[in-house]
Amino acid sequence: MKILVMHGPNLNLLGRREPAVYGALTLDEINAGLGALAAGLGVEISFFQSNHEGELVDRLHQAVEKEDAVVFNPGAFTHYSLALRDAVAAVGIPVIEVHLSNIYAREEFRHHSVIAPVAAGQISGLGGTGYRLALRAAVELAAVGRN
Ligand code: DQA
């Protein structure tokens, strides 16, 4: 089984970016933790980060051929990218939406996700733990062929 972990805009700056909101872990550290968990679960894992909407759309399309499920933090695109929403709806494999921060406890414009209605589910506010829970969920959903 193969799982893709995809990070959207500005998440390359984790560790330095608003640590009070997003925590002190860098993206490499988050990915390393997920890599270790994936090894323990016996699944293959790939990582992709981009600050560009179209690149994220392209990588989602590739996931149809390459992976069985996706863990996706769309960053600010969460709140307005209909192109990413349509891509998530199109791929037909489980996509789990993750946010490090609790988007419902923040500014009003972050309360709405255009991705959530087409995602398999959403985890928000659990920091790095949320990514690990999302990976476990992705493996379970892919195993039962559910999206
Ligand atoms: C985020 C929340 C978004 O509102 C924000 O734009 C991000 C990160 C999170 O992980 O908490 O870039 O997706």
CATH code, domain with 129:
3.40.50.9100
Q: 100 Cβ partners below 8 Å, 6+ apart?
A: 14, 21, 22, 23, 73, 125, 126, 127, 128, 130, 131
Catalytic residue list: 22, 99
Please choose, from the candidates 9, 74, 72, the residue with its C-alpha nearest in 3D space to the C-alpha of residue 46.
72
- The number of the ligand 1 atom at minimal distance from the alpha carbon of 77 is 6
Counting from 1 in the atom list of ligand 1, the atom nearest the Cα of 101 is 11
41-91: per-residue pLDDT in tens? 999 999 999 999 999 999 999 999 999 999 999 999 999 999 999 999 999
Is residue 98 within 8 Å of 31, Cβ to Cβ? no
Q: Given a cut of 80, is residue 142 above it in pLDDT?
A: yes
**Among the residues of 6-52, which ranges form H helices?**
19-22, 27-41
* Confidence band, pLDDT 50/70/90 cuts, at residue 141: very high
Establish whether this prediction's ipTM goes over 0.90.
yes
Q: Say whether 86 counts as a known binding-site residue.
A: yes
pLDDT on residue 146: 57
- Please state, in angstroms and rounded to a whole number, the distance separating the CA atoms of residues 81 and 96: 16
For residue 59, the enclosing domain spans 2-144
What is the mean pLDDT of the segment spanning 5-25?
A: 92
Radius of gyration, CA atoms only, the chain: 14
pLDDT grade for 21, boundaries at 50, 70 and 90 = confident
Question: Domain total for the chain?
Answer: 1
- Which of 100, 102, 106, 113 most suits a substitution to test ligand 1, by most atoms within 8 Å of the C-beta? 100
- The CA 98 to ligand 1 mean position distance, Å, reads 9
Q: What is the pLDDT of residue 23?
A: 85
